[in-house]
Amino acid sequence: MLENYFPILLFILVGLAVGVGPLILSKLVSPSRPDSAKNSPYECGFEAF
pLDDT recorded at residue 48:
61
Residue 23 in domain: yes
pLDDT recorded at residue 32:
82
Q: Does 15 or 49 have the greater pLDDT score? A: 15
C-alpha to C-alpha distances, 47 to 17, 34, 37, nearest whole angstrom: 42, 19, 11
Answer whether 0.85 is exceeded by the pTM: no
Q: How many domains does the chain have?
A: 1
Full residue range of the structural domain in which residue 27 is found: 4-38
31 DSSP assignment: -
User: Is a pLDDT exceeding 70 seen at residue 49?
Assistant: no
pLDDT digits (tens, 9 = 90+) for 5-47: 999 999 999 999 999 999 999 999 988 888 877 777 777 766 6
pLDDT recorded at residue 40:
75
Cβ neighbors of 48 (< 8 A, separation 6 or more) are 40, 41, 42
As a whole number of angstroms, the distance between CA 12 and CA 9 comes to 5
Residue 43 in domain: no
As a whole number of angstroms, the distance between CA 9 and CA 17 comes to 12
